Amino acid sequence: MSTLLGLLSGISLLIGAFFCVVGAIGLLRMPDVYTRMQAASVIETLGAGFILLGLLLHAGLSLAAVKLLMIALLIFFASPTASHALARSALLRGVKPALADGEEGPSKP
């Protein structure tokens, strides 16, 4: 039982690490601020999610598991708010998104 849990926990941690690396690669490859944030959101959802899941399986039924759940809740409530604030202030500051259709973004939203 504990070996199975350990295995699942390890697999989950590996998947989380994989998505963190993918997000980092995306952060470097994407062309502008907004698309880079899209790549980063893979890290904060799938990367952090799978790593927390792995740690949860590792912790078992304990106070540490409850604290990990609280961290997960905090991340999943706070990170979209932070992303939104960042994207909004970039647009308000006049950072033009590189759009596929070649049209200009709204200059003064």
Partner 1 sequence: MARSVLFLAVLYAFWLLLSGMYTPFLMGAGAGCAVGVLLLARRMDLIDREGFPVHLAWRTPFSYWPWLVKEILKSGWDVARRILDPRLPISPTLIEIRPSQQTDLGLAIHANSITLTPGTITVEVGPGRLLVHALTREGAAGLAGSEMDRRCAELERP
Question: Nearest to residue 9, comparing CAs of 64, 80, 76?
Answer: 64
* Summary count for the chain: helices (H), strands (E): 4, 0
Is residue 14 a contact point for partner 1 (CB under 8 A)?
no
38 versus 58: smaller Cβ distance to partner 1: 38
Is residue 59 a contact point for partner 1 (CB under 8 A)?
no
Burial tier of 1 (Cβ tally within 10 Å: 0-12, 13-18, 19+): exposed
Q: For partner 1, what does the binding mask look like between residues 71 and 90, x meaning CB under 8 A? A: -----xx-xxx-xx--xx--
Per CB under 8 A, the list member of 5, 6, 14, 32 interacting with partner 1 is 32
- In the block, residue with structure tokens 């989950």: 12
The whole-angstrom separation of Cα 50 and Cα 22 is: 14
Is residue 20 a contact point for partner 1 (CB under 8 A)?
no
Residues 17, 68, 66: CA angle, nearest 5 degrees: 150
Site of interaction with partner 1 (CB under 8 A)? 19, 22-23, 25-26, 29-30, 32, 34-35, 37-39, 41-42, 45-46, 49, 63, 66-67, 70, 76-77, 79-81, 83-84, 87-88, 91, 97-101, 105-106, 109
